[in-house]
Amino acid sequence: MHILEVENLKTYFFTEAGIVKALDGATFNLEKGTTLGLVGESGSGKSVTSQSVLRIVPKPGKIVSGKILFEGEDILAKSENEMRNYRGKKISLIFQDPTSSLNPLFTIGSQLTEIVTQHEKMKKTEALEHVIKTLKLARLPDPEEEIYRYPHQFSGGMKQRICIARALLLNPQLLFADEPTTNLDVTIQAQILTLLKDLQREVGMTLVMITHDMGIVADMCKYVVVLYGGNVMETGMIETIFEKPHPYTEALLKAVPRLDQTKELVSIPGNIPNLIELPSGCVFHPRCRYAVDACKGNKPPLEEVEADHSIACIRWRELNGGR
């Protein structure tokens, strides 16, 4: 069953310099109870995807067209009031920077308890108990004491655990984790990723890992959606994608820093596209090593090429042995 269906989603930013097409017709589905990796280079539209689903796209951005169904319900048809029942309660989000996500003026206990009492009919003492329980779930070592502390009294890794607990307070079915470990030390990164992996299993929620790191995706995700220049290039099971990738995914995979190699990170040659004047045809053609003249013509549609595997590339079949 699909918990989320996104169809031909267009989210544009109407800037003075022109219309920035952050998402230009993105389509993908998300199966309930699984982990999906939303990958792509910087500026490919990953964060805008989660902002669109929660309907929190900042100005001058706007969802221009398309469909977003959450558990079959049309998100784009909901009133702002109805959306408040989705944010945090059904769909939650954690960000890259735990420091700026927490209010420095209030203790952890008071800011988390307030979220609970705002949404649930619970007495303060009950809400506080629920907060302690959720902080335990996020493996805070001593929540009964830690609720009386302020954000600055915690390390970066502990703050991210608190943010994870906060995101889970209202038992959401879907959690977007937007590069949740980018600002943390390597050892702490691994701990947070393990925590998210465990929580996904324990709570049975659906997790979307937003990252540009294919290593993290390989380690955590069952499904992958690859974004480039606001377009979905490929969707599929992780194994399939590693085996027969879209040319852009292949380039991303080559850019994975390998621990067993001293070689520097291989970055993809060329620049990310200008979203105001997107290249014609396949948006990846100026950087694609397989590009031919026909790639500059029409935009290749995202097509199901085999079970659980969709590709937007006119040459993929030929490059993969003519299937």
Smallest gap from residue 43 Cβ to ligand ATP (A): 3
Total residues binding Mg ion (CB under 5 A): 2
Our finding on whether 232 is near ligand SF4 (CB under 6 A) is no
Per rule CB under 5 A, is residue 181 in the interface with Mg ion?
A: no
Site string for ligand SF4, 119-148 (x = CB under 6 A): ------------------------------
Q: Which helix (H) or strand (E) holds 203?
A: helix 186-203
At its nearest, how many Å lie between ligand ATP and the CB of residue 319? 26
Q: Rounded CA gap, 168 and 83, in Å?
A: 17
- How many whole angstroms separate alpha carbon 52 and alpha carbon 10? 9
H or E stretch covering 252: helix 247-254
Peptide bond into 269 cis (omega under 30): no
Residue number with CB closer to ligand ATP (33 or 66): 66
Based on the shown chain and the rule CB under 6 A, indicate whether residue 226 belongs to the binding site for ligand SF4: no
The site partner of 42 among Mg ion, ligand SF4, ligand ATP, none (C-beta below 5 to 8 Å per kind) is ligand ATP
> Is residue 282 close enough to count as binding ligand SF4 by CB under 6 A?
yes
Distance CA 16, CA 232 (A): 26
Residues contacting residue 120 through CB under 8 Å, at least 6 positions apart: 127, 170
Residue from 13, 28, 284, 305 binding ligand SF4 (CB under 6 A)? 284
- 12 makes contact, choosing from ligand ATP, Mg ion, ligand SF4, none, with CB < 5 to 8 Å by partner type, with none
Q: Does 314 bind ligand SF4 (CB under 6 A)?
A: yes
Task: Identify which of residues 45 and 245 has a Cβ nearer to Mg ion in the complex.
Answer: 45
Contact 244, 12 (CB under 8 A): no
What x-and-dash track marks residues 31-50 binding Mg ion by CB under 5 A? Answer: ---------------xx---
Determine if 150 is a binding residue for ligand SF4 (CB under 6 A): no
Out of 184, 192, 227, 295, the residue judged to bind ligand SF4 by CB under 6 A: 295
Nearest 5°: the CA angle 230, 233, 238 is 125
Which of helix, strand or coil describes residue 286? helix
Examine residue 291 and tell whether it contacts ligand SF4 (CB under 6 A): yes
Considering only CA atoms, which of 274, 295, 275, 277 is closest in space to residue 285? 295
Give the DSSP letter of residue 206.
E
CA neighbours closer than 13 Å in the CB half-sphere of residue 218? 13
Binding site for ligand ATP (CB under 6 A): 13, 15, 20, 22, 40, 42-48, 58, 61, 212, 275
* 161 vs 315 by CB, closer to ligand SF4: 315
- Burial class, 139, CB count within 10 angstroms (exposed 0-12 / middle 13-18 / buried 19+): middle
Q: Report the candidate in 254, 245, 180, 244 with the shortest Cα–Cα distance to residue 215.
A: 254
For ligand SF4, which stretch binds (CB under 6 A), given 27-35, 137-145, 204-212, 283-291?
Answer: 283-291
User: Do 178 and 47 form a contact (C-beta atoms < 8 A)?
Assistant: yes
Query: Which residues are near ligand SF4 by CB under 6 A?
Result: 247-248, 282, 284-285, 288, 290-291, 295, 300, 313-315
Query: Which residues are near Mg ion by CB under 5 A?
Result: 46-47
